């Protein structure tokens, strides 16, 4: 993946944060700061003027309602779990706690990470998958700094495998649904941002695979 | 969105991560490094702890179990019972979740210590089996119509079962019953046996049993007692569950050494009793 890791972990961290739970007042304050506003403008993310000028408590409420409507229910919501969206050849999909839930848990635990005991969600939540990539990218950056190239190569192989077997296999479709269903610009734009990030990552992975392929 | 705009954004994404980090964002925290425990060649020792302070009697566990196994009508693998303690006006109702205790047992068959249900099974011990620990060590054991695995689970193998029902009589808790919609493997004129398997199919894939997974109150805590860092080991130490088996397990007088423990600060278990003849009714979920 060459040198594309320039802090990309931070972007995964941001998106993991946003999809993990409702936006807290502290996070909102950070997102409304000048630094982030500049970043969002740079990324052409239009959160609307209300997001920046509205009453903070009111916006936190609105975002919490939107988050619940999109990801928690009741009623029609979009389950943010891989096993619900990832269409598998063996037909074991479309339900919570499916085969992919177990596959993701095993994959993550095989890398030497574990789920925090206080995490009560399911192992294949979108935020978990994003945080996993964030952690891989952080470790990759550290390995490159320390000159541990073999470890860095292995970490990228793990990332590629996780991307192709899991994240890319379901997240784009899930994010399209989120972007269509969202009523506030915030979740719509964040879904589009993640979609673009995944597209970019996919492109880099494909290119690097082609480079490595024997002619 | 135009293609150009998308491409612009793409290019931005490649350089913008640094800015996000620079902004000092708090990070999510769902994962952590796995604690490096000492390599254990022993099989896990599965136990469940029922925290009576937390159970609110919602019966989500009963429903999850029914859904997981398609448990037949009239049979239950886990139930939530109620006990009323004290005298009017100083009374209190407590909910007590119950399922098969997966007892250690005190009687020996060969080298294995087994509970009464396994001891009486005419189809035990039969075929030779191998249990592989997470560290890859092989432990040999014997199968049967009802048998004990080295990790402590008491399981059924319907193919070997004659449907004699001796295990139902032997279980002092009433945790076993006939499955009236399924025939025993060796004698199709008899019914198969149904009881909790501790969701062995899930455990073998590394996920917790369905009842534990669904318990909103966190009243069911499941784990490996052989792992000193596990939640169950911590709770067992904190509440002295192993030392006080006569107060932390169901029917200690049956001397079956249950692997289901109760955190019971009010001593409600001592007030909970049922007659031997009514034991099967214990595993009917009747909302009172």
Please tell me the distance from the alpha carbon of residue A195 to that of residue A101, in angstroms, as a whole number: 21
Give the pLDDT band of residue A112 (cuts 50, 70, 90).
Answer: confident
Grouping H, G, I as helix, E, B as strand and the rest as coil, residue B154 is strand
Token pair of A2 as six digits = 């060459």
Grouping H, G, I as helix, E, B as strand and the rest as coil, residue B247 is helix
Average pLDDT over residues B243-257: 91
Average pLDDT over residues B261-277: 86
Best to test chain B binding among A14, A18, A113 (most B CBs inside 10 Å):
A14
A with B: how many residue pairs have Cβ under 8 Å apart?
A: 132
What confidence score (pLDDT) does residue B31 get?
81
Give the pLDDT band of residue A2 (cuts 50, 70, 90).
Answer: very low
Higher pLDDT, B86 or A63: A63
Give the pLDDT band of residue B72 (cuts 50, 70, 90).
Answer: confident
Please tell me the distance from the alpha carbon of residue A122 to that of residue A111, in angstroms, as a whole number: 18
Please tell me the distance from the alpha carbon of residue A166 to that of residue B37, in angstroms, as a whole number: 29
What confidence score (pLDDT) does residue A128 get?
95
Grouping H, G, I as helix, E, B as strand and the rest as coil, residue B128 is strand
What confidence score (pLDDT) does residue B41 get?
60
Whether residue B17 and residue A30 make contact (CB cut-off 8 A), yes or no, is no
Whether residue B20 and residue A13 make contact (CB cut-off 8 A), yes or no, is yes
Give the pLDDT band of residue B5 (cuts 50, 70, 90).
Answer: very low
Whether residue A199 and residue B31 make contact (CB cut-off 8 A), yes or no, is no
Average pLDDT over residues B182-196: 93
Q: pLDDT tens digit string along B8-34?
A: 554 556 555 555 554 556 566 788 877
Best to test chain A binding among B20, B34, B54 (most A CBs inside 10 Å):
B20
- In chain B, residues with a C-beta closer than 8 Å to the C-beta of A134 are 27
Higher pLDDT, A162 or A214: A162
Give the pLDDT band of residue A4 (cuts 50, 70, 90).
Answer: very low
Average pLDDT over residues A95-123: 87
What confidence score (pLDDT) does residue B8 get?
52
Chain B from 181 to 220: CB within 8 A of any A CB: 205-207, 213
Average pLDDT over residues A7-20: 88
With 70 as the cut, is the pLDDT of residue A211 above it?
Answer: no
- In chain A, residues with a C-beta closer than 8 Å to the C-beta of B8 are 44
What confidence score (pLDDT) does residue B4 get?
44
CB B91 within 8 A of CB B234: no
H helices of chain B, in order, are 3-22, 60-69, 116-119, 166-170, 200-203, 210-214, 231-238, 245-248
Token pair of B193 as six digits = 């046996």
Average pLDDT over residues B277-288: 74
CB-nearest partner of A196 from B6, B23, B213: B6
Q: What is the DSSP string of B37-74?
A: PPP--SPP-EEEEEETTT-----HHHHHHHHHHTPPTT
CB A185 within 8 A of CB A46: yes
For B271, residues 6+ apart whose C-beta sits below 8 A from its C-beta are B83, B85
Query: In terms of CA atoms, which chain B residue is nearest residue A200?
Result: B10
Token pair of B92 as six digits = 């209190």
With 50 as the cut, is the pLDDT of residue B2 above it?
Answer: no
Whether residue B25 and residue A33 make contact (CB cut-off 8 A), yes or no, is no
The pTM of the full predicted model, rounded to 2 decimals, is 0.70
What confidence score (pLDDT) does residue A212 get?
61
* Complex-level ipTM beyond the 0.95 threshold: no
Please tell me the distance from the alpha carbon of residue B163 to that of residue B156, in angstroms, as a whole number: 11
Best to test chain B binding among A2, A9, A11 (most B CBs inside 10 Å):
A11
With 50 as the cut, is the pLDDT of residue B129 above it?
Answer: yes
- CB of B29 less than 8 A from some CB of A: yes
Whether residue A117 and residue B231 make contact (CB cut-off 8 A), yes or no, is yes
Count of CA atoms in the C-beta half-sphere (13 A) of A38: 9
With 80 as the cut, is the pLDDT of residue A55 above it?
Answer: yes
Q: Angle formed by the axes of helices A185-212 and A56-67, to 10°?
A: 60
Q: Which residues lie across from B92 on neighbouring strands? A: B85
CB-nearest partner of A44 from B9, B17, B30: B9
Matching residue, tokens 């025939």: B183
Please tell me the distance from the alpha carbon of residue B140 to that of residue B163, in angstroms, as a whole number: 26
Q: What is the distance in angstroms between the Cα of B34 and the nearest Cα belonging to chain A? A: 5
Query: In terms of CA atoms, which chain B residue is nearest residue A44?
Result: B9
Q: Is A94 left (phi over 0), alpha (psi -120 to 50) or beta?
A: left
What confidence score (pLDDT) does residue B55 get?
94
Q: What is the CB neighbour count within 10 angstroms for residue A91?
A: 8
Peptide bond into B125 cis (omega under 30): yes
Average pLDDT over residues B273-279: 80
Whether residue B32 and residue A116 make contact (CB cut-off 8 A), yes or no, is yes
- Counting residues of chain A whose pLDDT is more than 90, the rounded percentage is 56
With 50 as the cut, is the pLDDT of residue A3 above it?
Answer: no
Q: pLDDT tens digit string along A121-137?
A: 889 999 999 999 999 99
- CB of B234 less than 8 A from some CB of A: no
Residue B192, phi then psi, degrees to nearest 5: -75, 170
Whether residue A119 and residue B205 make contact (CB cut-off 8 A), yes or no, is no
CB-nearest partner of B17 from A10, A108, A112: A10
């Amino acid at each position: 993946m060459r040198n594309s890791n320039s802090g990309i972990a931070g972007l995964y961290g941001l998106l993991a944060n946003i999809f993990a739970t409702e936006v807290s007042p502290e996070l909102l304050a950070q997102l409304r700061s000048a630094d982030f506003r500049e970043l969002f403008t740079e990324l052409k993310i239009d959160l609307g003027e209300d997001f920046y000028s509205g009453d903070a408590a009111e916006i936190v409420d609105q975002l919490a309602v939107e988050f619940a409507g999109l990801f928690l229910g009741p009623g029609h919501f979009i389950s943010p779990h891989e096993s619900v969206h990832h269409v598998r050849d063996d037909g074991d999909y479309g339900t919570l706690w499916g085969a992919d839930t177990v596959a993701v848990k095993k994959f993550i635990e095989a890398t030497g990470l574990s789920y925090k005991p206080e995490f009560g969600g399911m192992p294949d939540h979108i935020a978990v998958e994003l945080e996993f990539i964030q952690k891989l990218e952080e470790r990759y950056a550290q390995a490159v700094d320390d000159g541990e190239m073999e470890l860095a190569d292995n970490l990228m192989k793990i990332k590629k495998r996780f991307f192709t077997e899991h994240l890319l296999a379901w997240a784009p479709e899930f994010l399209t649904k989120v972007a269509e269903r969202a009523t506030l610009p915030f979740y719509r734009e964040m879904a589009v941002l993640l979609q673009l990030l995944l597209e970019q990552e996919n492109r880099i992975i494909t290119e690097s695979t082609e480079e490595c392929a024997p002619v | 969105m135009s293609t150009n705009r998308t491409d612009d954004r793409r290019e931005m994404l490649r350089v913008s991560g640094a800015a996000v980090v620079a902004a000092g964002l708090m990070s999510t925290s769902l994962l952590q490094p796995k604690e490096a425990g000492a390599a254990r060649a022993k099989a896990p020792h599965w136990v469940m702890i029922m925290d009576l302070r937390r159970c609110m009697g919602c019966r989500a566990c009963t429903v999850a179990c029914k859904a997981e196994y398609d448990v037949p009508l009239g049979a239950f693998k886990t139930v939530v019972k109620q006990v009323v303690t004290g005298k009017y006006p100083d009374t209190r109702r407590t909910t007590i979740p119950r399922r098969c205790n997966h007892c250690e047992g005190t009687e020996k068959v060969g080298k294995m210590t087994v509970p009464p249900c396994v001891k009486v099974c005419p189809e035990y011990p039969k075929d030779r089996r191998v249990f592989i620990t997470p560290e890859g060590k092989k432990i040999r054991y014997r199968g049967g119509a009802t048998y004990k695995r080295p990790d402590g689970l008491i399981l059924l193998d319907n193919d070997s079962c004659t449907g004699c029902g001796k295990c139902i009589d032997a279980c002092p808790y009433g945790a076993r019953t006939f499955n009236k919609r399924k025939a025993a493997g060796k004698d199709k004129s008899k019914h198969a046996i149904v009881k909790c398997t501790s969701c062995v199919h899930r455990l073998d894939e590394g996920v917790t049993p369905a009842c534990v997974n669904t318990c909103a109150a966190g009243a069911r805590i499941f784990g490996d007692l052989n792992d000193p860092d596990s939640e169950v080991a911590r709770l067992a130490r904190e509440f002295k569950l192993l030392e006080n088996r006569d107060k932390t397990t169901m029917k200690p007088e049956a001397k079956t050494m249950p692997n289901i423990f109760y955190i019971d600060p009010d001593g409600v278990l001592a007030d909970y009793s049922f007659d031997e003849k009514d034991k099967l009714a214990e595993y009917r979920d009747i909302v009172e």
